[in-house]
Amino acid sequence: TQLLEQSPQFLSIQEGENLTVYCNSSSVFSSLQWYRQEPGEGPVLLVTVVTGGEVKKLKRLTFQFGDARKDSSLHITAAQPGDTGLYLCAGAVGSQGNLIFGKGTKLSVKP
Amino acid sequence: NAGVTQTPKFRVLKTGQSMTLLCAQDMNHEYMYWYRQDPGMGLRLIHYSVGEGTTAKGEVPDGYNVSRLKKQNFLLGLESAAPSQTSVYFCASTQALLSGNTIYFGEGSWLTVV
């Protein structure tokens, strides 16, 4: 059974602070995605990383895929209240189509 | 959430009743998924399909059945609903699990079993 462990589960910070969310597994993934979900809505894909060591940036968000493709991190610089939401990582196993999710990190950014 | 439509959006069932959730996508995607989301549990994969006529079990398949008779539709069935199946159900679709391919989620279906 593949498991994706996300940490921290909850994070409450002030506007302007930096933060990092981690996604770890003992399994190797062919690709890993990060999503953001608002209450009452479905998750929205932020980024997909596929190469070990890959780093992608999306404005103030930086995503990194571990060299062994077992872990990933999401770093937010100068967080804003609009970043508040549930952040989810999801890993794809080979080409089987199996896409599993971590439990999520609930982020609250206070003005 | 362009292109993925779930029906119904809300439903209340009595224990033992059956129902079907419909997921429809108009993007000609090969891969379709059904997840359930419970507080503190993230999204858990119930069943998925990598193409018309194919289905596979995910993490929590017990109590559910699925069918993919048409490429654009993925049906999730509950034959005999139980209170433990009270949850929010999300459908998703994508062309392939590759970088550059977006995975689209539906808006969710809220199911309560009493």
Chain A nearest-CA residue for B49:
A97
Mean pLDDT (chain A) is 92
Q: What is the mean pLDDT of residues B61-88?
A: 97
Chain B residues with beta carbon closer than 8 angstroms to that of A103? 40-42
The domain made up of A5-110 has a fold known as Immunoglobulin-like (2.60.40)
Please tell me the distance from the alpha carbon of residue A47 to that of residue A62, in angstroms, as a whole number: 10
The confidence band for B100, taking pLDDT boundaries of 50, 70 and 90, is low
How many CB atoms sit inside 10 A of residue A110's CB?
11
Chain B residues with beta carbon closer than 8 angstroms to that of A9? 40
Burial of B97 (0-12, 13-18, 19+ CB in 10 A): buried
**Per the CB < 8 Å rule, is B48 touching A97?**
yes
Please tell me the distance from the alpha carbon of residue A38 to that of residue B107, in angstroms, as a whole number: 11
**Per the CB < 8 Å rule, is A103 touching B41?**
yes
Decide: A54 and A47 in contact? Cβ < 8 Å: no
Domains of chain B in start order, with CATH, are: 4-113 (2.60.40.10)
Q: Return the residue in B9, B95, B103 with the most chain A beta carbons within 10 A, the one to mutate for interface testing.
A: B103
Chain B nearest-CA residue for A6:
B42
Answer whether residue B1 shows pLDDT above 70.
no
Annotated domain spans of chain A:
5-110
> What is the edge-to-edge ordering of all strands in the sheet holding B4-7?
B4-7, B19-25, B73-78, B65-67
Q: pLDDT tens digits, residue range A4-36?
A: 999 999 999 999 999 999 999 998 888 899 999
Q: Which of B44, B45, B106 sits opposite A42 (nearest CB)?
A: B106
